Chains A and B, each alone.
Chain A
C-alpha cells in the first residue's frame, strides 16, 4: 500500500482523553464522507495508512476515530 492511499488525513499524535484520534472532516479526500460507524483508511502521506472507525462527528466538522489495526492505541495499561 502506498503511503498516499489514505481517505482521511490525520495527525495521529492528536488524541483525545480516550486515546482516539481527532481530525477534521475537511481533511477527507474528495468524495469521502466521514460518517459515524464507517471505517476509513487514515494516514498522513508518510506512514502506511491504517484503518480507523469514526466514533463521533460534531456539527462543526470534528471527527473522532478509533484506530482498528492497533487496539492498544488508547491509553497505556495502568
Chain B
C-alpha cells in the first residue's frame, strides 16, 4: 500500500470544461460518499472522492478504459470548472491517467449537498458492459 503522502502525477490541470464522471445512480449518496472519503483518508491521508475524467465527453471510450465506469448502467457527470467553483479541488492521483480525487474538507451533509449540486442527474452510460 502506498505511504500516506499525497503523490501527484504532475499533469496539467484539466480544463474547466473537462467532464468528470462517477459511475452509478447512488454513488453520491451521503452513505457512499462518506465511506468512499473515509477509505481515501485511510489509504492516502486525505478526505476525497475518486472520479475519472472523460476526455471529449466520450463515455464509451472511458468505459473501455475503466471497469468502474463500464460496469455501471448509469453515471453522473460534472465539469471540472463547476467543482472548482464550488470549492472542490481536483488532484491528479494514482498512476491511472484519468483518475482524479475530489478533495472534500469535511464529511457533512452540507458538503455532500454542495458536491451533488455539481453533478448531473444519472444519465445512461453508452459504454455499459455488465
What residues of chain A lie closer than 8 Å to B79, measured between beta carbons?
A: none
| CB of B85 within 8 Å of the partner chain | no
**B10 CB within 8 Å of chain A:** no
**Total B residues in contact with A, Cβ cutoff 8 Å:** 32
Decide if B108 is an interface residue (CB 8 Å cutoff). no
- CB within 8 Å for A13 and B71 given contacts A19-B96, A61-B42: no
Which residues of A lie under 8 Å from residue B17 when comparing CB positions?
none
Residues in chain A near residue B38, CB distance under 8 A = 24
Q: Mark B7-50, 1 if CB is under 8 A from A, else 0.
A: 00000000000000011111100001001101110110000011
- Indicate whether B67 reaches chain A with its CB closer than 8 angstroms: yes
Interface flag for B52 (CB, 8 Å): yes
By size class, the interface of chain A is 20 to 34
* Residue B60 at the chain A interface, CB threshold 8 Å: no
Q: Contact: A14 with B67, CB < 8 Å?
A: no
28 A–B contacts from the bound complex (CB under 8 Å): A11-B27, A11-B32, A11-B35, A12-B68, A12-B71, A13-B23, A13-B49, A13-B99, A14-B43, A14-B50, A15-B50, A15-B68, A15-B94, A15-B96, A17-B94, A22-B43, A24-B38, A24-B39, A44-B24, A46-B72, A48-B130, A50-B71, A56-B1, A61-B42, A62-B39, A62-B43, A73-B67, A75-B96
